Structure 1
Amino acid sequence: MTQAHVAILDDEPQIRHMLSEALTEAGFRTTTYARATEFEAALASGAPDVCLVDLGLPDKDGLALVHRLALESGAAIIIISGRAQVQDRITGLELGADDYIIKPFDPTEVVARVRARLRRDRDDNQGTGNTAHFEGWTAQFDRYVLTGPDGEERAISHAEGEVLRLFLERPRRLISRAQMQEELGGAAGESFDRAMDVRISRLRTKLNEDPKNPRLIKTIYGAGYIFLGEVRWS
């Protein structure tokens, strides 16, 4: 079985070593980077399965990097940061991160979060195909790309893709916030709810939905969401 590849971006040598050692012992392949520029250069030869990204980088804004990764890489993104404010966590999740771990942390927690993220992705891929067709649209989850009825492609982030896949696997069924939290992971609360609102809003925009009267992703106030399109998987 191919080892999952975890990239670690943190300017603190002790943290890079601690994470790399713990993940290697757990059976992962790791590469470490101290600066965003060398990390971005390495991405040109292929994206890792998971990116662990510190926000306090010496050469680039960490949140801007997270946003770019979410849009372009298709990798799962876990922020590791000393910024513990709720708004920092909300912002990180809104920009496309899949999880947020606050320093100081136990490395075994990071290993567990990485395993959970990869297990969720693997279960998704085994449950159905990687391509969904609905109402003239095509969603390719191996590339994280939406293709519209006009043939135009638009990228979706890994986090947006998780939400869209959840809807497409359960068309015409009510999905509550509690179900979303259980399926997608992360701690329930304000930061999770806000992140879901933002991801759904972005999906509606990319699907050319009317924000006041969306046709496909409907909000059932006080209950959750429902996807109303017909879906075929391949």
Structure 2
Amino acid sequence: MRKILIVDDDQKTRILLKAYLEKNQYEVILAHNGETFLAEFQRQADALSLVILDVMLPDTDGFALCKIVRRRSNVPIIMLTASSDETDRVVGLELGADDYIGKPYSPRELLARIKAIHRRMGFDNASAPRYYRFLGFTLDTIERTVVDAEQKMVALTGLDYQLLKYFVAHPGDILDRAVLCEETRGRDSGPTDRSLDVQISKLRDRLNDDGKAPQLIKTVRGAGYVFAADVVSSAT
């Protein structure tokens, strides 16, 4: 059973989410503030399949907790925000969150996001490869890490990881922006939304992939992007 840790200072919301998610076969641990969340996280970190962080908390904020979680674990993170300011959402993703949901939201929507993240991370597919190796790099889908040819860890945000994982799982395929946004963020992008292009540029930098002459992620003008390196996947 998947185990989820939720921090939200609204008691009614906590109780509602716990009942709804448990009905859908998830084990749920609740926290009402940052202090109780961190205590539970320290106890349960290795067993968690997902963390849900409310941005506004009485003793801290979800951004601070996101930083702490990312220093300790690569567990997927969903952030809940009541702010309509896109900056809050961008900050959360840059800190390592995997997705965000604006308040108010329905439990059904949250469940769909949870399932989508577990699906993207390969948690629900035991036969999926664990390792993807390409141009000296190794991506580990269990540890959610990437190391280079010298076994040095590559620092990636949650969104970086999702994007790279989708690329290496589809080498040689031309992937348009709509597909990449849907698969990595759970939503399509508007015609003026350049956040995906910015994210790909950052991912190239982190992989030392020259944007002017990339070997890994190449732009196909008018069509999208393609992961050009050879990829070998394996279970061990």
Runs of 4+ in 1 over 4 A off after TM superposition: 123-127, 190-195
* Structure 1 SS opposite 2:5: strand
Q: Distance in 1 between matches of 2:126 and 2:191?
A: 29
Closer, same or farther: CA 195–101 of 1 in aligned 2, 3 Å: same
> 1:193 offset after TM fit, Å?
4.8
Q: 2:13 aligns with which of 12, 15, 40?
A: 15
Partner of 1:38: 36
Distance 2:65 2:75 in 1: 13
Alignment size in residue pairs: 232
Q: Give the AA of the match of 2:159.
A: A
1:113-150: CA deviation from partner (whole Å, max 9, x where unpaired): 22332234347745641111111111111112111112
Unaligned runs of 5+ in 2: none
CA distance in 2, matches of 1:133, 1:163: 15
Offset at residue 59 of structure 1 (A): 2.3
* Partner Cα distance (1:120, 1:151) in 2: 25
Q: Please tell me the root mean square deviation across aligned C-alpha atoms, in Å.
A: 2.6
Matched, 1:189 2:189: yes
Per chain length, whose mean CA-contact separation is higher, i.e. which structure has more relative contact order (CA < 8 Å, sep 6+)? 1
Aligned to 1:174: 174
Report the alpha carbon displacement of residue 201 of structure 1 after superposing the two structures with TM. 3.1
Between the two proteins, what is the percent identity of the paired residues? 34
Q: Unmatched 5+ residue regions in structure 1? A: none
In 2, distance between residues paired with 1:213 and 1:70? 32
Maintained 8 Å contact 2:7/2:31? yes
**TM-score, structure 2 normalization:** 0.85
- Aligned-partner Cα distance in 1 for 2:215–2:163: 17
Could you tell me which amino acid in structure 1 is paired with residue 51 of structure 2? C
In the TM superposition, what is the alpha-carbon distance from 1:93 to its structure 2 partner? 3.1
For 1:226 and 1:118, the matched residues in 2 are separated by: 24
Displacement of 1:52:
1.4
- State the alpha-carbon separation in 1 of the partners of residues 116 and 209 from structure 2: 32
Alpha-carbon distance in structure 1 between the residues aligned to 2:218 and 2:71: 24
Structure 1 CA distance for aligned equivalents of residues 84 and 191 of structure 2: 12
Question: 1:191 and 1:24, CA in 2 relative to 1: closer, same or farther beyond 3 A?
Answer: farther
1:79-135 CA deviation, whole Å, 9 max, x = no partner? 122112333333333433222222222222222322332234347745641111111
Mapped to 1, the partners of 2:130 and 2:164 lie a distance apart of 12
Say if 1:105 and 1:179 are closer, same or farther in 2 by CA, change over 3 A: closer
Q: How many angstroms apart in 2 are the aligned matches of 1:75 and 1:192? A: 31
Q: Which moved more, 1:166-175 or 1:119-128?
A: 119-128
Residues 209 and 186 from structure 1, CA distance in 2 versus in 1: closer, same or farther, beyond 3 angstroms?
same
CA distance, structure 2, for counterparts of residue 194 and residue 211 of structure 1: 16
1:218 correspondence with 2:205:
no
Opposite residue 32 of structure 1, the aligned amino acid is L
| TM-aligned CA deviation for residue 42 of structure 1 | 2.6
State whether structure 2 residue 3 is matched by structure 1 residue 5. Answer: yes
Instruction: Provide the C-alpha distance between the structure 1 equivalents of 2:203 and 2:127, rounded to a whole number of angstroms.
Output: 22
Do residues 130 (structure 1) and 130 (structure 2) align?
yes
- State the match for 1:102 in structure 2: 102
Distance 1:8 1:158 in 2: 18
Whether contact under 8 Å (1:131, 1:141) holds in the other structure is yes
More moved, 50-59 vs 155-164: 155-164
